[in-house]
Every structure is written in C-alpha cells, then in structure tokens.
Amino acid sequence: MGHIELRRVDDDDLDAIFEMMRDREAIALAAFTADDPDDRVAFDAWIARQRANPDVAYFVVTERGGFAGSIASFAVEGDREVSCWIARHAWGRGVATAALRLLVSREPVRPLFARVAAHNARSIAVLERIGFTEVSRDMAFAPGLGREIEEIVYTLVPAVDGA
C-alpha cells in the first residue's frame, strides 16, 4: 500500500469513477448498485446530485497520487452512513482500510452506519478492522445481482472515553 489520501471529487475524476462502478466483479460484490451501471446519463445525474448535496461528503481515494476509488459519508433517514468503492487495481493492499480510517477521522457524527452484502467478506473485514460492529441482517434487493440477498448493517459508535 502506498500513501493514501482523500480529496474532493473534481470533473476530471468522473470518467474513472464511472468506469470503476461498471466493473462486473466489483458490482457482484457490492451488490447494491445502480440499476444499470452502463447508463452514463443516469450516472452523471446521480453524481451531480451527490456533489451538490451539502449532506454528502464525497471523496476520491488516491494511492500515491493516482486514482484508487471513492468514499463518502451521507445521511439516510437521519442516520449517517459511509460507503467505499475501491478500484480493482487497488484491491487487497489495505487501501480501503486506510481510506475508511481517514473518512471516519473526518466524520464527527456517531453512530456511523455501513451496509454490506453478506457475501462480501473483504468489505466485512475492512469494517470490522476499523471497529464497526454488526447490528442487523435483512434481505434486500441487490440490483448488481438482480435478486434479493442478505444485507448486513454495521455501526461505529463512540469509544467509551467519548472519542
């Protein structure tokens, strides 16, 4: 793993984010994706909404200055959630763990929540490494797989000392 940083998304990142989110292997793992990951018009509208929303903190993950993924925190029904998508070329090197640690350190709201497909062992390991704990499981429709799958909800609460 090289030096990991988070920076705001700029227009030059949009092609890389779109291509990353079209990776079929990643889609199968993420499961809860766009209905049609190849629809650039829908992607452009979605990312424009994210970038304009003051409740969304959306970042590019860089490794040694190069594009390695995206990560965000956002509000869902009053809860603060996090989401991370790492480009396949950066898998298995600790990039997701480092990026999530950075995001969590910047995000003051607790508890934080994250949702993950039960079959995505690597993402589960990243969440647990950071200190997230499982709070519930349910079945949910996964557009990336075209069927219902088990979804796990994790939370990160303040440490006992209030940190």
pLDDT band at 103; cut points 50, 70, 90 = very high
Q: For 46-102, what is each residue's pLDDT tens digit?
A: 999 999 999 999 999 999 999 999 999 999 999 999 999 999 999 999 999 999 999
Range 141-148 average pLDDT: 95
Give the three-state DSSP class for 109.
coil
Q: For 12-48, what is each residue's pLDDT tens digit?
A: 999 999 999 999 999 999 989 999 999 999 999 999 9
What pTM, to 2 d.p., does this model score?
Answer: 0.93
Domains of the chain listed by start with CATH number: 4-156 (3.40.630.30)
Task: Give the per-residue pLDDT at 160.
Answer: 52
Among residues 79, 78, 73, 86, the alpha carbon closest in space to that of 125 is found at 86
Please list the alpha-helical segments (H only) found in 56-120. 95-106
DSSP 11-37: GGGHHHHHHHTT-HHHHHHH-S--S-T
